[in-house]
Amino acid sequence: MIGERMKIAIIGTGYVGLCTGTGFASKGHDVVCVDIDEVKVNKVNSGIPPIYETDLEDMLKDVISKNRLRATTNINSAIKECEVVFICVGTPSDDVGRIDLKYVRQSALDIGNALRECDYKVVVVKSTVTPETTENIVIPKIEEASGKKVGQDFGMCMTPEFLREGSALKDVLEPDRTVIGEYDQRSGDTIEPIFKELNAPILRTKIKVAELIKYANNAFLATKISYSNEIGNICKRLGVDVYDVLKGVGMDHRMSPYFFNAGAGWGGSCFPKDVAAIIEKAKELGYEPKMLQEVVDINKRQKVRMVEQLQKKMDIKNKKIAVLGLSFKANTDDIRDASSIDIIKKLLDSGAIVAAYDPQAMENMKHIFPGITYNENATETLRDADACLIVTEWEEFKNLKDENFNIMKNKLILEGRKVLDKKEIKDFDGICW
């Protein structure tokens, strides 16, 4: 170690790996990002992020120009050169929602092979893994492949990531807290300097606790949204706006006003997969997590609620329905588990004709729904439409005015996210308001 500057290898140059690596490099560490995908590696080395993320391109170009970050497909040499190795590979869901650990196992094997000829290093799991994975799978695999002993020849930690798409770099550099699950004190002491300079509280704990903190965190956030939506559905029946109600609730300091945005449900690459995985893990441990199952069920129903509300107002068969917003949230082209998918499917199943627009996500959606109409802007999508559903809270939808909607055949507007300006648009309805 040169002062506090460390040599860090990051295995997996996806969303978490690249943002974490770029963030660490911006703090002066020497980072080498490893990926099996040569195209991705070449892109990163020329300063082009393979994913879109706010400020990532500028920061990546900067750290590359300062020789603080490079990418490679050679995992062996990357590990040999570093002091700390972060595992940042994906942990997708299998068919029943259990976590699929194939990439984590492969990384452990590769790290183990490289460690055969190495002195002490610390391996850190940052991929989201269910409790017991690091101790029952990662450590034994590394020990087996390396012939070395954890706590003696190499150290082991688990530091969950709390990155949000759209603000991932900020979340790396200005986290609410850092959780370090450590095999022993030496392991934790070795990696703590990387996080100390981020000026956020550091919680040092057991590995299994750190693994569960990640799931408990996402499960609570998903629960908070499903709770907001449940209250929202009651509000709708009472003719009140859920945002007025939750504003009052959020003023209780035990509650916090954040993440109370009721609407058309939660999606993305994290909540659906992580809540499903912790449910499956609980069952494996002999516990039926009924509340979390209901959180998922509420969400499933919430995603298509707008279509049901629309069907109460009109027969949608052969009617043109404009869908504004396809990504699972604003400022991303990510459509994984987006509410728009369930909504479009239900519209099509009911015989509607769908026209859609999204500033970023249309190319991705074309793979799922090649047969619907994709328009170049919101106004074109609204032309001659019989109804409009607003599904993602894109900034540009906030600027829509009455004149944009006047070209609809029938001006029936239903919001699934709170975006429209009441001063600008007369007569629109909301999912929970």
Residue 270 known to be catalytic: yes
Among 24, 103, 154, 162, binds ligand UGA (CB under 6 A): 162
Residue 326 in the binding site for ligand UGA (CB under 6 A): no
Contact, 419 vs 394, CB < 8 A?
yes
Q: Which of residues 64-93 bind ligand UGA (CB under 6 A)?
A: none
Among 14, 131, 263, 416, binds ligand UGA (CB under 6 A): 263
Residue 391 in the binding site for ligand UGA (CB under 6 A): no
Residue 261 in the binding site for ligand UGA (CB under 6 A): yes
Contact, 63 vs 39, CB < 8 A?
no
Point out which span in 53-61, 71-79, 101-109, 268-276 binds ligand UGA (CB under 6 A): 268-276
Distance of CA 185 to the CA centre of its chain: 31
Point out which span in 48-56, 133-141, 255-263, 347-355 binds ligand UGA (CB under 6 A): 255-263
Nearest approach, Cβ of residue 333 and ligand UGA (Å): 13
Contact, 50 vs 43, CB < 8 A?
yes
Q: Judging by beta carbons within 10 Å of its beta carbon (0-12, 13-18, 19+), is residue 237 exposed, middle or buried?
A: exposed
Residue 271 in the binding site for ligand UGA (CB under 6 A): yes
In one-letter notation, the amino acid at residue 89 is V
- Which residue in the block uniquely carries the two structure tokens 């990418």? 71
d(CA 48, CA 41) in angstroms, rounded, equals 10
Among 14, 267, 289, 416, binds ligand UGA (CB under 6 A): 267
Using CB under 6 A as the criterion, what x/- string covers residues 165-184 for binding ligand UGA?
Answer: x-------------------
Point out which span in 90-98, 201-209, 264-272, 350-358 binds ligand UGA (CB under 6 A): 264-272
For residue 26, the cross-strand partners are: none
Contact, 112 vs 123, CB < 8 A?
no
Among 175, 188, 268, 430, binds ligand UGA (CB under 6 A): 268
Cβ distance to ligand UGA smaller for residue 164 or 186: 164
Contact, 276 vs 269, CB < 8 A?
no
In one-letter notation, the amino acid at residue 229 is N
- Which residue in the block uniquely carries the two structure tokens 């029952």? 136
Using CB under 6 A as the criterion, what x/- string covers residues 132-161 for binding ligand UGA?
Answer: -----------------------------x
Among 183, 195, 227, 266, binds ligand UGA (CB under 6 A): 266
d(CA 76, CA 113) in angstroms, rounded, equals 8
Among 79, 85, 104, 221, binds ligand UGA (CB under 6 A): 221
- How many CB atoms lie under 10 A from the CB of residue 254? 4
- CB contact set of 124 (below 8 Å; sequence gap of 6+): 84, 85, 86, 87, 156, 157, 158, 159, 191
Tell me which residues touch ligand UGA (CB under 6 A): 161-165, 218, 221, 225, 259-261, 263, 266-268, 270-271, 274, 328-329
The set of catalytic residues is 270
